[in-house]
Amino acid sequence: MSDVPILKETTRSTGREALRNNITAAMALAGAVRSTLGPRGMDKLLIDDEGRTMVTNDGVTVLESAQVEHPVAKMLINASTTQDRIARDGTTSAVLFSAELLQNAWELVLQGVHPSAIGRGYRMAESACRERLNTLVIEATPERQRRATETSLAGKIHSAMQTHLAEVAHEAAKAVVEERNGDVVADPTRVKVLTNVGGQMADSHLVTGLSLPKKRVTSSMPRRLSAGRIALIDGGLERKGLMSDVKLNVTSSGMLEAFRAKERTLLLEQIDHLKSLGVTLLACKEGIDDDLHRVLAEAGIQAFRRVARADLDLLARGCGARLNLNVKALTRDDIGVFIESRNERVNGKDRWTVDTEEGGATFIACGSTSDTVGEVERCFADALGVACQLLEEPSLLAGGGATQIALARHLRRHAETIPGREQLAVEAYADALEVIPRTLAENAGLDPLDTLLRVVSQQAQGTDHAHFIGLDVLEKQPANMLDLGVVEPLRITQQVLAGATEAALSVLRIDDVLWAKQDPTEPELEPNED
């Protein structure tokens, strides 16, 4: 047979070498965000290619901003991104847990346990955790929902703003909650966010209704309108321009004037159509002809131009209207209704606010610098996501590592009933769960092992609420998390278990890594370079 290798242009690693390299990449990624976990977590300074900076404590923001080349690291980042999209919190926990699962799996591989057996054991452990979670659920009263929203902000912003943003996010979630086909739905995308650089973070507030940084097309229009009808145009009220390849041959002096008069007549017909439909509020994605400003004002219509398509969609959902490409195509079914429309000047800036029947809210994020405003905006988005999901699924778990320790204790007892090497994998899964309380203790300046043993000892005493005992990082001692109000949504832990386990199993199934060699390329020179 020929000795010529088939994959001569490929770098290849197989077996344990491939698994070790993949786990090393996962641990390196987890190390990048490990110090951000918990109320005592540290911030990260991110610098992009253009020198722009961002200071944040949000794990998924750190990971998505990093330039990562290793495919396994990208898999863990995808798991973190999915965690953020579904649960809005727990992104750092998902990465730490998946990396710890891989690290513990590597120890078993060195002992001679096959990755397939480890995978089966991990699946058994995940299933047992999901069953156990149902017995740890806490009823989500309104006060506990607010505290859970506040817990999601722990470490991301200072304590005074945590309480303020949690209350604002809770109010915003209640403003957009609705019932669809018997189910409660709270859509966070219905909350508009405006940024305002200047002032303090505590100046951030919620405005009822949809608020946009817009000014009516002319000051002669009504500044405030009571309940009325609204039309939304996915276009504009302007004279139509000629096509680029069309030439107009004017043979008499009156022809051009007649042409312009006809254009104006067509525009006025559109205004008459709006009046016939009873429209008192008009929003267009494009411009409104200057000649129509006075006509619209005389008709009592408040008009706004160049409204973004995303904002028009929010108006359509809130007012029950439908977007149309032009005014002439509007029917009564396309017209929506609003409670109030007001155009006012706040802190030197124009603001248009519309109160709608379907509810809606706008969050005004304030801060002394653009970086501060950006962090307030990101924190509010996380808090709002948690508040909305709690209205949809009002189930809570104890925080502070209490739930993870309770699950780990349950798994160790459950592992004794499993014959075969899968028992070792279940115990490794239990050890990996404890990475959360260990990291919380480490970031609080405590000894991870001693602190973990103290909390486990407290839970093992067997009282009725022993599974609520977690780590109080402020007082640096075990405490009842329910009494402290340190709680988190059930969906966060469920998604951490699912996402981290799946990511770890995907890496464990890899026993061959092939890297295609890339030929060196010459840099392209600019035309003026030699």
| pLDDT reported for residue 1 | 42
Catalytic residue among 36, 56, 58, 84: 58
CA distance 511 to 455: 38
Q: Which CATH superfamily is domain 141-209+362-393 in?
A: TCP-1-like chaperonin intermediate domain (3.30.260.10)
Phi, psi of 354 (to 5 degrees): -120, 120
Q: What is the mean pLDDT of residues 177-183?
A: 84
pLDDT of residue 359: 72
What mean pLDDT is reported for the chain?
A: 89
Residue 331 is among the residues annotated as catalytic for this protein:
no
Close Cβ partners of 457 (under 8 Å, ≥ 6 residues apart) = none
Active site residue 234: no
pLDDT surpassing 50 at residue 515: yes
Q: Which of 36, 92, 151, 403 is catalytic?
A: 92
Q: Given CA atoms 503, 506, 512, 513 in this order, what sign does their dihedral have?
A: negative
What average pLDDT does range 404-421 have in this prediction? 96
DSSP string, 240-302: PPPPTT------SHHHHHHHHHHHHHHHHHHHHHHHHTTEEEEEESS-B-GGGHHHHHHTT-E
The mean-pLDDT minimum among 100-114, 171-185, 251-265, 469-483 falls in 251-265
263-303 pLDDT per residue, tens: 788 889 999 999 999 999 999 999 999 889 999 999 999 99
Cα separation, 115 vs 106, in Å, equals 9
The strand pair at 477-480 and 469-472 is best described as antiparallel
* Per-residue pLDDT reduced to its tens digit, 435-452: 999 999 999 999 999 999
Catalytic residue among 89, 311, 382, 472: 382
Q: What 8-state DSSP symbol labels residue 288?
A: B
User: Is position 56 annotated as part of the catalytic site?
Assistant: no
Q: Comparing C-alpha atoms, which of 85, 68, 83 is closest to residue 32? A: 68
Question: In whole angstroms, how far apart are CA 365 and each of 343, 372, 381, 477?
Answer: 19, 9, 11, 35
CATH top-level class of 211-244+253-358:
alpha beta
Question: 91, 149, 280, 356: which is the annotated catalytic residue?
Answer: 91
pLDDT band at 322 (very low <50, low <70, confident <90, very high): very high
Angle between helices 91-110 and 422-433 (to 10 degrees): 140
Mean pLDDT of 415-443: 96
Partnered with residue 231 across adjacent β-strands are: 282
State yes or no: is 355 an active-site residue: no
Domain chopping of the chain, boundaries? 10-138+397-516, 141-209+362-393, 211-244+253-358
Task: Indicate the CATH number for domain 10-138+397-516.
Answer: 1.10.560.10
- Would you say the CATH fold of 211-244+253-358 matches that of 141-209+362-393? no
Q: Given a cut of 60, is residue 390 above it in pLDDT?
A: yes
What is the band of 340 on the pLDDT scale with cuts at 50, 70, 90? Answer: very high
443: tokens are 């970031």
**Mean pLDDT across 166-171:** 93
